[in-house]
Structure 1
Amino acid sequence: MRKVSLFSWTVFDFAETVFSANIISVFFPLWVINTLGGSSYHYSFVYSASIFISILLGMLTGKIADEKGYKDLFFKFAVVSVVVSLSSLYFIESLFVALVTFFFMNLFYQQSLIFYNSLLFDISSEKNRGFISGIGVGIGYIGGVVSLLISNYLADSITETFLITAAIFSLFVLPSVIFLKSQKKAKKFKINIRDIIKDKPFLFFILSILFLTDAAHGLIIFMSIYLNKVLEFSQDQIVNITAIAGIFAIISAPVTGYFLNKISPAKFFQLIFLGWFVTFIALIFSDKYSIYLVAISFGILLASLWTTMRIVLISISPEHELTTRFAFMALSERMASIISPVIWGVVILILGETAFSYKVATFILSLFPLVGFIIYRRFLNYSSVN
């Protein structure tokens, strides 16, 4: 049963990256702007609103899941809701209806990730947790690359890519819906949110995550638009360069996971902050040729970020509070998901849809990993991690 659980957990990473790559990063924002007549700030503000509600809901459901042992049930409900919402996009022709549907779809998607990350503890051991996390991320990026290529080259329209994405997503979430289960607790715990808030090293970690993932989410959401507006890439070129980044993410994720079993994940994580800052600066000065090296760097950084972040959180958290603390991490990530789209949208709204405005927005995002690094150093000083 353990092997079935490991397989089910890792292939969900395949499915969730399919959703992130196809819907959040590429096809949905392009559909909103180029087909439905919307703008990047329409998408950014709706995305931010769904994230804000997800933050509030996640704190409540995470606490209930830890206290009652319901995290597997909450996970499965959220996943099924994503499937239904995603399938309905094919039939929508209105900008307003599309944005409303996306609001609820993204809300359920974000909720599913909280419980999914927490379930890593249930299906792994301390000796193999880093490697399994890396395998999941690597398989996830395989999903992102394969689904982008299949959706782009088989579909005759963007709306058809939504049906293809829904089919791929449904297929690969099915094992997790059937087989993933929470470990049953011999003892029930009452969780006090105030006690978690008083944990100073944990709060430094969460705050540093906010600044780092602000940059990461900004990249995920707006990279396709940046490539289109600044470098004048076509949809096919955008898909190809995203696929290249994904290939290097696939390779680097299990390698990172392997080393996390040998070295301190907490100390290794600080290097990722600096890598993000340097690569964002490189993006601003890139051209149609050097952008491929930048894409490769971003692929490696994304894989390293997602592989390492959840391992560090598990290592510093009590077992009975894992889902609640993952909800705090989701709070930090989702706040970043609000901040970066709002900053991006405001810059574009003020300066207009120009290459210069996109570079200004990118430079602002580049500063966040640097600030996060300073805060993370405080976390290392206060914590007892090895």
Structure 2
Amino acid sequence: MEHLKKGSKKLLNAWAFYDWANSVYTLTIASSIFPLFYGTLFTSEDETIAAFGFVMKPTVLISIITAFTFLVVTFTSPILSGIADYVGNKKNFMKFFCYLGSFGCIGLYWFSKESIYVSLLFYFMGLLGYWGSLVFYNSYLPDIAFDDQQDQISAKGFSLGYIGSVILLVANLGMVMTQETGAEKVEMMRYSFITVGIWWLVFSQYTFYVLPKGVSQGHKVTKDVLFNGFKELKMVWFQLKQNLRLKRYLYAFFVFSMAVQTIMLMAVYFGEKEIAWLDDAQKTQGLIVSILVIQLVAILGAVLTSKASAKYGNIKTLIVVNIIWMLLCFYAYFMITPVQFYIAAGFVGLVMGGVQSLARSTYSKFLPDNTEDTTSYFSFFDVAEKIGIVIGMTVFAVVDQISTMRNAILFLFIFFLIGIVLLFRVPKHGELN
């Protein structure tokens, strides 16, 4: 493959195209069909499940497994990113996690209560593969794009992801809704998991073909390199003390991200359990339509957020977006009817794509000048995000187990409020000294 210069249109488009490949996981597995499928495994509203020596609500079990997966990502990504930076082969690690996630999605076809541990292993593989690959995917951004390109190409990546995932979801929706019996619908849901794995596997190949192997090359891995990632994180933490703007932004991101990701991971489970649907048919159709609304509006949201950040600045735009998220938590606590759920879905879509793309590009812009080991900085960014998700999902699971999902959603209101306060404390260029 020819060497493409930084800022090359072909290189940027190839990077953004990975969002097209992997976003089908977040839509079909994390956000829509899998939560619906998971709900069909339990015949009554108050049914519990025994696993790992405990008896718990099904939603609590999936929350705990999700939190555990992010904990694994948190501790493994520094090691792997350290190796990737040292050896210069971040693309190989990105490939590994991509393939792990793809095969995990395919394995969900055999998900069942009777083989709950193997089933949860496939769920774990899919989630680990998705987030593990993003560590290295995100770290490419400052390597391939100049500062003035990063907001736009980041938004383009998310937009491609939304479009691609909606296309596959519509196909999956056709597979499910054209079946007559409940058993046939469930079987088509299982087949949809296979389509996600294959889509992710196939479309990622163009990105892998075009992206460079890494920034530096030629080093061999030794035992000292295994813990180089943690040394790099320590170095990044030390440098953060010298970069007030980046440090304060990271604090804010840590807090609001835990709430955003928890809501995105648990929204359909909430809709499936807490909204007063007329029957199972309306529930299935209504939830999938809501997810489609979210994805379509999110395309507009990502574009509008990019334009707003260019005009008003990244931090001011993030503050407004977080205020909307905060109000949505309050609104969700009182929502009961499907119509109310659809309204919430529209607003979630508007701010979902915006907060993700802008959070990523803002961090990239705040990195120190002439930074070469970008993987370590983005590993730190991802570690902060993952620890936040672990805390958010754990808090959500605990409140859900002892109370209700409504109270768990309302509790996330606090995280957004704190995040907004912290964003106000991020200094501008002229206030850095």
2: CA distance, partners of 1:58 / 1:130: 25
Report what 1:193 is aligned to.
233
1: CA distance, partners of 2:297 / 2:328: 15
Any gaps of 5 or more consecutive residues in structure 1? Answer: 352-356
The alpha-carbon deviation at position 197 of structure 1 amounts to: 1.3
Q: 1:132 to 1:256 in 2, by over 3 A?
A: same
* Identity across the alignment (%): 21
Find the partner of 1:75 among 76, 79, 94.
94
1: CA distance, partners of 2:233 / 2:389: 23
Q: Please tell me whether residue 123 in structure 1 is matched to residue 170 in structure 2.
A: no
Q: Please tell me whether residue 105 in structure 1 is matched to residue 126 in structure 2.
A: yes
Any gaps of 5 or more consecutive residues in structure 2? Answer: 43-47, 50-57, 177-184, 220-227, 278-282
Report what 2:54 is aligned to.
none
Find the partner of 2:211 among 177, 180, 203.
180
Equivalent position SS for 1:320: coil
CA RMSD of aligned residues (A): 2.5
Equivalent position SS for 2:338: coil
Counterpart residue type for residue 28 of structure 1: F
Q: 1:384 to 1:15 in 2, by over 3 A?
A: farther
Q: Please tell me whether residue 345 in structure 1 is matched to residue 402 in structure 2.
A: no
1: CA distance, partners of 2:121 / 2:204: 24
2: CA distance, partners of 1:348 / 1:32: 17
The alpha-carbon deviation at position 170 of structure 1 amounts to: 2.2
The alpha-carbon deviation at position 92 of structure 1 amounts to: 4.2
Q: Which moved more, 1:294-303 or 1:92-101?
A: 92-101
Q: 1:336 to 1:232 in 2, by over 3 A?
A: farther
Find the partner of 1:134 among 146, 152, 155.
155
Please list the CA deviations of residues 26-68 of structure 1 after superposition, one character each: whole Å capped at 9, or x if unmatched.
Answer: 2333333422785011111111111101001111222332333
2: CA distance, partners of 1:115 / 1:316: 18
The alpha-carbon deviation at position 185 of structure 1 amounts to: 4.5
2: CA distance, partners of 1:348 / 1:297: 24
The alpha-carbon deviation at position 85 of structure 1 amounts to: 2.0
The alpha-carbon deviation at position 182 of structure 1 amounts to: 4.6
Find the partner of 1:266 among 296, 302, 315.
315
Please list the CA deviations of residues 256-287 of structure 1 after superposition, one character each: whole Å capped at 9, or x if unmatched.
Answer: 33444455323432222222111221222334
The alpha-carbon deviation at position 194 of structure 1 amounts to: 2.7
CA contact (8 A) 1:15 1:172 kept: yes
Report what 1:361 is aligned to.
408
Q: 1:267 to 1:67 in 2, by over 3 A?
A: farther
2: CA distance, partners of 1:186 / 1:43: 40
Give the alignment's TM-score, normalised by structure 1.
Answer: 0.90
CA contact (8 A) 1:127 1:261 kept: no
Find the partner of 2:190 among 114, 138, 159.
159
Report what 1:283 is aligned to.
332
Report what 1:208 is aligned to.
252
Q: Please tell me whether residue 114 in structure 1 is matched to residue 135 in structure 2.
A: yes
The alpha-carbon deviation at position 305 of structure 1 amounts to: 0.8
Q: Please say which structure displays the higher CA radius of gyration.
A: 2
Find the partner of 1:309 among 359, 362, 368.
359
The alpha-carbon deviation at position 236 of structure 1 amounts to: 1.3
CA contact (8 A) 1:151 1:165 kept: no
Equivalent position SS for 1:346: helix
Alignment length (residue pairs):
379
CA contact (8 A) 1:135 1:257 kept: no
2: CA distance, partners of 1:269 / 1:340: 20
Please list the CA deviations of residues 96-142 of structure 1 after superposition, one character each: whole Å capped at 9, or x if unmatched.
Answer: 11102222332222110011111122332222221111111111111
Equivalent position SS for 2:372: helix
2: CA distance, partners of 1:76 / 1:267: 36
Please list the CA deviations of residues 216-258 of structure 1 after superposition, one character each: whole Å capped at 9, or x if unmatched.
Answer: 1122111111112221341111010111111111122133334
2: CA distance, partners of 1:257 / 1:273: 15
CA contact (8 A) 1:133 1:257 kept: no
Equivalent position SS for 2:172: helix
Counterpart residue type for residue 348 of structure 2: F
